[in-house]
Amino acid sequence: NQPSIPLISIHLKLSLATLKVFQLYAEGLYGDKWTQTDGSVQVKYGNQIKNTIIISNNNNPKWKETFEFGPISINMKDKLVFSVYDEDTYWNSDLLGKCSFDLHNGKVTDSCMFDYGTFFFSYIVDVMLI
């Protein structure tokens, strides 16, 4: 006699997805007193971390990178985390802001407001049932 497994746990175990993060940009960043921001973004989901290039001397940067995460497991503990930095030197970067979001299926466009500027992003989650 096999023990019964709740349907919800079967669904969660078999639910995988692909995550694509794109259209990363910011407006009104302020990171340096004497020069404009040298901005970069770190994007994290679960144990996967991706980083944009540094865009120098621009308070309104638009990063061209598209990041693909997958296959990923959708769960309640992992969030999509964005950290925006002003890169001063290789060993000294200032965190301008950090925000985190629960993933939703489909295409999502959102933003987060920091003390000095606003960060914008889009992502697409495609859930695959195995």
Residue 15 located in a structural domain: no
CATH classification of the domain holding 109: 2.60.40.150
Task: Count up the domains in the chain and report the number.
Answer: 1
The pTM of the full predicted model, rounded to 2 decimals, is 0.84
- Reading the chain (130 residues) residue by residue, the pLDDT tens digits are 555 444 444 444 546 889 999 999 999 998 777 889 999 999 999 999 999 999 999 999 999 999 999 888 877 789 999 999 998 766 678 999 999 999 988 999 999 999 989 999 999 999 876 6
Residue 10 located in a structural domain: no
Residue 16 located in a structural domain: no
Residue 9 located in a structural domain: no
Residue 11 located in a structural domain: no
Residue 125 located in a structural domain: yes
- Domain range spanning residue 97? 21-129
Residue 87 located in a structural domain: yes
At CA 108, angle to CA 106 and CA 109, rounded to 5?
Answer: 160
Query: Under a CB-based contact definition with an 8 Å cutoff, are residues 128 and 106 in contact?
Result: no
Residue 45 located in a structural domain: yes
